[in-house]
Amino acid sequence: MTLAVRIDDTCGRIRAAMDAAGRSDRCDLELAVKTRTPETCREAAQVLADRGLPVLLGHNRVQEARATVEAIREVPGAQVHLIGPLQSNKVNQALSAVDLIETVDSTDLVDRLDHRVGRRFPVFVQVNTSGEPSKHGCAPQDVPRIVAAVEMAAHLYLHGFMTVGLHSPDERAVREGYAHLRRIRDEAAERLCTSDGDLALSMGMSADLEWAVEEGATIVRVGTAVFGPRPASG
Ligand SMILES: *Cc1c(COP(=O)(O)O)cnc(C)c1O
């Protein structure tokens, strides 16, 4: 199957889940491009552009993002998000390579980013909703402090929340994590006196995007369903 066919199939899955949930708002496809070549990234970005869809690519590693950003930028309107953890010594590199950071999970990182960025810059707060110690993201109880730090920041602004779901076939348990992120988003929207719809929910991947869409995802991050299995070393 070609990349275009798999992208169309994935969009079909998103649409079907939106319909099943009775949703009339939108959910965008973000391509998770870790380990993919610049050529593949560019080709996939072009398919999204040809469909009139937002061109949204998520990179896990700053170095990798820098290597492919140039290829992606040939596609007008392409947006690159950082979806992997950001080490403090990579802050400058990240800010020069990506349009949005989805993985802000501490007030320390908020401060570092804000001191370096020098322009208005959107961030998502990443929350560990599954409680698995191996997962990145702040604890749910730390969200208000981090959101407050973003609000105090001179340049950063809160654009949404992100989580990596529980890796499990247990639908109820996985969905509970996504529902939790949605409650966190709704509470933040209320505190910030903004509407829920102004704050994105980035959740759901190849295996479980339907569950995430049904719990309110506005961005799903999909890798293997579009690009095939990753090399084992990736
Ligand atoms: C790899 C990755 C994805 C996509 O996972 P797939 O199972 O390949 O769809 C989504 N989010 C993050 C943070 C990732 O690292």
| CB-based contact 228:1 (threshold 8 Å) | no
Q: Is 60 close to ligand 1, i.e. is its CB under 6 Å away? A: yes
DSSP H or E stretch at residue 11: helix 3-20
Q: Tell me the pLDDT tens digit for each residue of 76-128.
A: 899 999 999 999 899 999 999 999 999 999 999 999 999 999 999 999 999 99
Q: Is 3 left (phi over 0), alpha (psi -120 to 50) or beta?
A: alpha
Query: If you take atom 11 of ligand 1, which residue's CA is the nearest one?
Result: 221
pTM above 0.75? yes
pLDDT of residue 36: 93
In sequence order, which residues have a C-beta less than 8 Å from that of residue 21 and are 6 or more positions away?
A: 213, 214
Q: Is 179 close to ligand 1, i.e. is its CB under 6 Å away? A: no
Q: Which residue in 3, 85, 11, 10 sits closest to 36, CA to CA?
A: 3
Strands 56-59 and 200-202: unpaired
pLDDT grade, residue 165 (50/70/90)?
Answer: very high
Mutate to test the pocket of ligand 1, among 10, 221, 226, 227 (most ligand atoms within 8 A of CB): 221
Q: Ligand 1 centroid vs 193 CA: distance in angstroms?
A: 32
Q: Is 224 close to ligand 1, i.e. is its CB under 6 Å away? A: yes
Structure-model confidence comparison of residues 195 and 160, the more confident one: 160
pLDDT of residue 65: 86
Helix (H, G, I), strand (E, B) or coil at 195: coil
